[in-house]
């Protein structure tokens, strides 16, 4: 209740006194105003961080979307797909080598420009495929190298790949200390005597077959320093250390010659397949990749 100067009581919202008619003095609303201002400041103080957080979150989402779009565009034309067990699936170029043939009627095949292969990560940009012009033998070797190939009248074939400018390319023994680098492969086709003669130094079954066919022992023996690992009855790995001329073709130079050979004693197979990798010792891992691909392609031929 409001008390007038005349001591009369009036309602709180009265402007004039009901008894004497005097005007009541104005009420000071500064405290109420300060209360309202304080409430507004608290509201603003709470709202600003929320807005800032929303801006940050929205910006982060926008950046993620932009990065995703950019990566999609950049990777669209990359032909490498990650697979399991440390391999990548990749398209490698195929180099068709200049090929000499034993039968002039043979015609080159229409070979693809690239071949798909699963290869150990780290080597997909260092290697390429090389082949004779009929695609009988396709092997991996360092990209940018020079190759030659041959196809015999009996269907046998060979491919030799070496660095550009290298003159000491050999199909047999290398001179001691030779720094020749080469990847070579060959197959005997259906020539039974050829496969037995090639494989008899390494395969007991081939030595027995050769003796049965020609009534005398295998014409060559492997050197004692040659390291041989029998993977199965049809596949053998071997290494001729530096200075050792053995079953690897070529071998005997300054670098180890790592090789693989297959042998089947039935007439349905495509013969004996052999590959040799001659690279500096520090490139042993590359030789393993090269030979592994050869085995995957031709082990069961």
Q: Is the pLDDT of residue 127 over 60?
A: yes
Phi, psi of 280 (to 5 degrees): -55, 150
In this predicted structure, the answer to whether residue 226 has a pLDDT above a threshold of 90 is: yes
Rg (CA), the chain: 43
d(CA 147, CA 124) in angstroms, rounded, equals 20
State the Cα–Cα distance between residues 137 and 160, nearest whole angstrom.
Answer: 10
- Percentage, residues of the chain above pLDDT 70: 73
34-55 pLDDT, tens per residue? 444 444 454 444 555 667 767 6
Alpha-carbon gap, residue 272 to 197, rounded angstroms = 10
Average pLDDT over residues 64-72: 49
Q: Which residues sit opposite 258 in a β-bridge?
A: 239, 277
Maximum distance among all alpha carbons in the chain?
152
Residue 72 pLDDT level (bands cut at 50, 70, 90): very low
If 0-12 CB within 10 Å is exposed, 13-18 middle and 19+ buried, where does residue 64 land?
exposed
Residue 142 · residue 182 · CB < 8 Å: no
Domain ranges of the chain: 81-298
- Res 65: pLDDT: 62
Q: What is the pLDDT of residue 30?
A: 45
Taking all residues of the chain, what is their mean pLDDT, rounded to a whole number?
Answer: 82
Mean pLDDT lowest among 11-20, 143-152, 154-163, 177-186: 11-20
Model-level pTM? 0.71
Question: How far apart are the C-alpha atoms of 224 and 200, rounded to whole Å?
Answer: 15
Segment 102-130 mean pLDDT: 90
Residue 49, pLDDT score:
64
Mean pLDDT across 137-147: 97
Question: Where is average pLDDT lowest: 25-29, 57-61, 85-89?
Answer: 25-29
| Band (271; pLDDT cuts 50, 70, 90) | confident
Strands (E), 132-190: 138-142, 146-151, 157-162, 182-187
* Per-residue model confidence (pLDDT) at position 84: 45
């Amino acid at each position: 209740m409001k008390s007038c100067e005349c001591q009369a009581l009036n309602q709180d919202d009265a402007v004039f006194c009901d008894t004497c008619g005097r005007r009541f003095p104005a009420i000071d609303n500064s405290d109420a105003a300060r209360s309202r201002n304080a409430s507004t400041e608290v509201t603003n103080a709470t709202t600003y961080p929320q807005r800032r957080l929303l801006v940050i979150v929205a910006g982060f989402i926008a950046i993620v979307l932009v990065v995703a779009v950019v990566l999609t565009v950049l990777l669209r034309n990359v032909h490498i797909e990650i697979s399991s067990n440390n391999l990548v699936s990749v398209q490698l170029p195929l180099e068709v080598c200049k090929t000499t043939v034993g039968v002039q009627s043979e015609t080159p095949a229409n070979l693809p420009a690239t071949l798909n292969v699963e290869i150990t990560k780290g080597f997909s940009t260092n290697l390429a495929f090389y082949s004779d012009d009929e695609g009988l033998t396709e092997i991996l070797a360092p990209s940018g190298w020079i190759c030659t190939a041959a196809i015999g009248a009996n269907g046998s074939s060979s491919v030799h790949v070496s660095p550009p400018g290298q003159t000491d390319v050999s199909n047999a023994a290398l001179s001691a200390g030779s720094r020749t680098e080469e990847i070579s492969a060959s197959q005997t086709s259906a020539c039974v005597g050829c496969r037995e003669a090639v494989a008899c130094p390494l395969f007991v079954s081939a030595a027995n077959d050769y003796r049965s066919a020609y009534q005398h022992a295998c014409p060559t023996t492997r050197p004692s320093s040659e390291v041989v690992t029998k993977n199965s009855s049809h596949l053998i790995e071997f290494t001729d250390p530096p200075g050792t001329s053995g079953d690897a073709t070529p071998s005997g130079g300054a670098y180890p010659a790592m090789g693989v050979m297959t042998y089947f004693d039935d007439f349905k197979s495509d013969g004996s397949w052999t590959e040799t990798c001659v690279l500096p010792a520090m490139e042993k891992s590359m030789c393993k990749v090269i030979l592994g691909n050869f085995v995957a392609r031709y082990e069961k031929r």
